[in-house]
Amino acid sequence: MSAKTLYDKLWDQHLVKQRDDGSALIYIDLQLLHEVTSPQAFEGLRMAKRQPWRISGNLATPDHNVPTTSKERREGVNGIADPVSKIQVVTLDENCDEFGITEFNMMDERQGIVHVVGPEQGATLPGMTVVCGDSHTSTHGAFGALAHGIGTSEVEHVLATQCLVQKKNKNMLVRVDGELSPYVSAKDVVLAIIGVIGTAGGTGYAIEFGGTGIQSLSMEGRMTVCNMAIEAGARVGLIAVDQTTIDYVEGRPYAPNADQWDQAVNAWRDLVSDEGAHFDNVVVLKAEDIKPQVTWGTSPEMVIAIDQAIPRSEDQTDPVLKEGYARAWKYMGLEGKSVLADITLDRVFIGSCTNSRIEDLRIAAQVVEGRQVASSLKQAIVVPGSGLVKAQAEKEGLDKIFTAAGLEWREPGCSMCLAMNADKLGNGEHCASTSNRNFESRQGFGGRTHLVSPAMAAAAAIAGHFIDVNELVKH
């Protein structure tokens, strides 16, 4: 038998039917649902008088629209001031009730960002196929699961058939060899990767992340890396299963019971690429070369290390890149600036499906502990990824550290990552954000986003501008 990549194995295990025209029917083990991309799918089911194929193959929670202040949250859906947002959240509740789908609603402590909730509950398991109407579904690939974002028509398709019509991707391996430097995190690794391969570098590929720089990461870190595979153009990001994976899953509410545990673990151990498996493309980075990263422009590939000069349009040779850089410079208001420290920050956001897990909050708290947020900042908020992350952080006293330093401690949700709720940037404001997209107006109309790690966001909150977190903690 020829050597297979992890992606090949997952594909083969879920192949229901290979069709003559090159398309394939792939079985989906878990569909995660949220309020923004599901209403039209449920409506489609109703109109066609179809029932879900397998109700237990779905799990729902509202996240994009939910308010994050405790005052609003105490009132449940009635606390959502925006009537349009409220309708969407209520619609998810009603659809889940109607079809019998398990939902962690706004008043449930298990509510949170879908990509935090699935793994936290053990609903996401190694070897599964996981889909969601959200591009950051690649997150779940950290578990050796085949996971990717889909559109609403496909959400409906999965509800109705528990399958998707797919074409197999090509295989790419991104290897990070060596040991990461202090305060260089998974976020810096994935931003550096995107800086190398570009936002379309992974288009058409499933990317497996490997090497010692990846293997040494916790599950939280691995989720951060896979989360942003889509920002490199790849719908699918993957990391092989090892003991770290298995230890994380054990004992979670939806993890296999004791009587099936050994059998499951035995199967999961095989979820690695075989020795000598063929990759269509291999990219190698040295962990030691990766420094804390900050995006300067309006695409995640417009990223530099903290000590680099901001690249200029006139230095680019490719005409499309030249045009893109010029547009980004103008939008980001960079005229007269040459390094990242020249940018005056208005807000800091620590949260999102990329960086709102307990480990992210711990490192941010460690950086701000005993320090004060710069008085020049308008706001610095910390938004935990789920109710359970919030509870854990409070148990560890992290909330107290944040509030003592002058950061706001919020309720779980997507929040300022895409500003569908009330948390947003004002026109022209610069934000150090631990989220995943720095597109124009992503965090609010005219807002200017700089993507960073939690440690770098925390350091920026204290300094009021970008600074190497290693420099800050020295003093």
**Least distance CB 265 / another protein (angstroms):** 10
Burial of 360 (0-12, 13-18, 19+ CB in 10 A): buried
Q: Which of 200, 282, 284, 309 binds another protein (CB under 8 A)?
A: 200
**Least distance CB 194 / another protein (angstroms):** 12
Q: Which of 12, 82, 179, 280 binds another protein (CB under 8 A)?
A: 82
| Residue 141 found at the interface with another protein (CB under 8 A) | no
| Residue 97 found at the interface with another protein (CB under 8 A) | no
| Residue 157 found at the interface with another protein (CB under 8 A) | yes
**Least distance CB 314 / another protein (angstroms):** 18
Contact map string, positions 310 to 329, toward another protein, x by CB under 8 A = ----------xx-xx--x--
Would you say how long the chain is, in residues? 475
Size of the site for another protein (CB under 8 A): 88
Which residue, among 282, 283, 193, has the nearest Cα to 230 in the 3D structure?
Answer: 193
**Least distance CB 243 / another protein (angstroms):** 19
Q: Rule CB under 8 A: which of 392-421 touch another protein?
A: 418-420
3-state secondary structure the chain: CCCCCHHHHHHHHCEEEECCCCCEEEECCEEEECCCCCHHHHHHHHHCCCCCCCHHHEEECCCCCCCCCHHHHHCHHHHCCCHHHHHHHHHHHHHHHHHCCCECCCCCCCCECHHHHHHHHCCCCCCCEEEECCHHHHHHHHHCCEEEECCHHHHHHHHHHCEEEECCCEEEEEEEECCCCCCCCHHHHHHHHHHHHCCCCCCCEEEEEECHHHHCCCHHHHHHHHHHHHHHCCCEEECCCCHHHHHHHCCCCCCCCHHHHHHHHHHHCCCCCCCCCCCCEEEEEEHHHCCCEEECCCCCCCEEECCCECCCHHHCCCHHHHHHHHHHHHHHCCCCCCEHHHCCCCEEEECCCCCCCHHHHHHHHHHHCCCCCCCCCCEEEECCCEHHHHHHHHHCCHHHHHHHHCCEECCCCCHHHCCCCCCCCCCCCEEEECCCCCCCCCCCCCCEEEECCHHHHHHHHHHCCCCCHHHHHHC
Cα separation, 74 vs 385, in Å, equals 18
Contact map string, positions 3 to 32, toward another protein, x by CB under 8 A = -------------xx-x-xxx-x-x-x---
Whether residue 298 contacts residue 440, with contact meaning beta carbons closer than 8 Å, is answered with: yes
**Least distance CB 325 / another protein (angstroms):** 11
**Least distance CB 433 / another protein (angstroms):** 14
Q: Which stretch binds another protein (CB under 8 A): 3-11, 120-128, 207-215, 309-317?
A: 120-128
| Residue 134 found at the interface with another protein (CB under 8 A) | yes
| Residue 39 found at the interface with another protein (CB under 8 A) | yes
| Residue 425 found at the interface with another protein (CB under 8 A) | no
**Least distance CB 263 / another protein (angstroms):** 7
| Residue 53 found at the interface with another protein (CB under 8 A) | yes
**Least distance CB 151 / another protein (angstroms):** 4
Q: Rule CB under 8 A: which of 225-254 touch another protein?
A: 230, 233-235, 253-254
**Least distance CB 31 / another protein (angstroms):** 11
| Residue 264 found at the interface with another protein (CB under 8 A) | yes
Q: Which of 430, 442, 448, 465 binds another protein (CB under 8 A)?
A: 442
Q: Which of 66, 106, 128, 305 binds another protein (CB under 8 A)?
A: 128
Q: Which of 153, 338, 372, 403 binds another protein (CB under 8 A)?
A: 153
| Residue 78 found at the interface with another protein (CB under 8 A) | no
**Least distance CB 396 / another protein (angstroms):** 28
Q: Which of 76, 93, 99, 102 binds another protein (CB under 8 A)?
A: 102
Q: Which stretch binds another protein (CB under 8 A): 49-57, 170-178, 219-227, 388-396?
A: 49-57
| Residue 139 found at the interface with another protein (CB under 8 A) | no
